[in-house]
Structure 1
Amino acid sequence: MVIKVFTASSSGSTAIKKKQQDVVGFLEALKVDYTQLDIACNEENRMWMRQNVPADKKPTSGIPLPPQIFNDEDYCGDYETFFDAKEDNSIHAFLGLAPPPGSKQAPAEEEEGQEEEAE
C-alpha cells in the first residue's frame, strides 16, 4: 500500500502551500511511507486526482484542490479530513493503515480480538 499525496509545486496560494507542507511534514514525522505527486507539472497526475476524488467529496466548484490523499486507489480525503483525523489521533485509520505497535489504537483492537475468542 502506498500513500499518495497530490500536491501542486507551483501553487500561487500560500494557504494551499501551508496545507501541503502540513500533510507532508506530519507523514514524515510519523515515518509513513508516501509518494508526493505533483499536479502542476504532470497532467496525468492532475487528471487522475480529479477523476478519483469521489463526486460527493468534490467542492461546489467541482475541481478538488491539493492536497488530496489516497491509499493506492482508495480515496482518504482532503486537508480538512486529514486535519480532523490528526486532531482525533486517528490518522492511521484515516490513511487505511494498521496502527503502529504500542499505539493507543493497537491494544484496543487486540482486546476486541481476545473478547471474541472468549465467546
Structure 2
Amino acid sequence: MVLKVYVSGMSGNKEVKKRQQRVLMILDSKNIKYDTVDITEPGKESEKELMQNKSTSNGGTVSDPEPRHPLPPQLFNDDEYCGDYDAFDMANEIDTLEVFLKLAPADTTAVSTAQIELKQENGDAKKEEAETEAEDKKTEAGDGDVDVKEEAAEKAEV
C-alpha cells in the first residue's frame, strides 16, 4: 500500500502551498512513507483526472470556499481516497492519522468523520462542564469562607 499525496507545484494560492507543506511536514515527522504526485507536471494529466474524479471533498480554502475542482493536497492510499487537508488536519489533531490514512492494522476499526467530530464536540462539552463545576465549587467555597469568617468574628466578640 502506497500513500499518495497529490500536490500542485505551480499553485498561485498561498493557502494551498501552506497546506501542502504542512501535510508533507507532518508525514515526514511521523516517518510515514509517501509518494508525492505533482499534478501540474507534464504527462500527469491522468493522475490529475484520477484525483479530481475520486476526491469527495473539494478542499475549499478561505479565498475559495467552494472550488469547481478538488484542490490539492488530496490524500490517497493506493487508489482509495483518504481525504483532503481539513480531514487530514483533524485526524492529526485527534491522533487518528494512521486510521485516516488507512495505514492502521486490520484489527483496528475505522473511525468515521462523524464519529471524530462527535468525539471532539463531546470533549469540548465535557471540558465546559468541568469548568462550570469548578467555578461553582469556588463560589460555594467562597461563600463558605465568608460564613466561617463571620462565625469566627462572632465568637471573638463573645
Shorter-chain TM range is 0.7 to 0.9
1:52 lines up with 2:58 in the alignment: no
For each residue in 1:27-82, what CA deviation from the matched residue of structure 2 results, as whole angstroms up to 9, or x when unmatched? 1111111000001112122111111113xx34644400000000111111000000
Structure 2 unaligned blocks of 5 or more = 61-65, 109-158
Secondary structure of residue in 1 paired with 2:103: coil
Unmatched 5+ stretches in structure 1: 100-108, 110-119
Let me know the Cα RMSD of the aligned residues: 1.8
Which 4+ runs in 1 deviate beyond 2 A? 57-62
State the match for 1:90 in structure 2.
96
1:70 is aligned to 76
Larger helix proportion of the pair? 2
Structure 1 residues 9-28: aligned runs within 5 Å: 9-28=9-28
Aligned to 1:4: 4
Q: 2-side partners of 1:63 and 1:8: how far apart?
A: 13
Equivalent residues, number: 99
User: Which secondary structure does the structure 2 equivalent of 1:5 belong to?
Assistant: strand
Looking at both structures, which has the greater relative contact order when contacts are Cα pairs under 8 Å and sequence separation is at least 6?
1
| Structure 1 segment 29-40 matched on structure 2, within 5 A | 29-40=29-40
TM-score, normalised with respect to structure 1? 0.76
Deviation at 1:88, TM superposition (A): 0.4
Higher strand share: 1
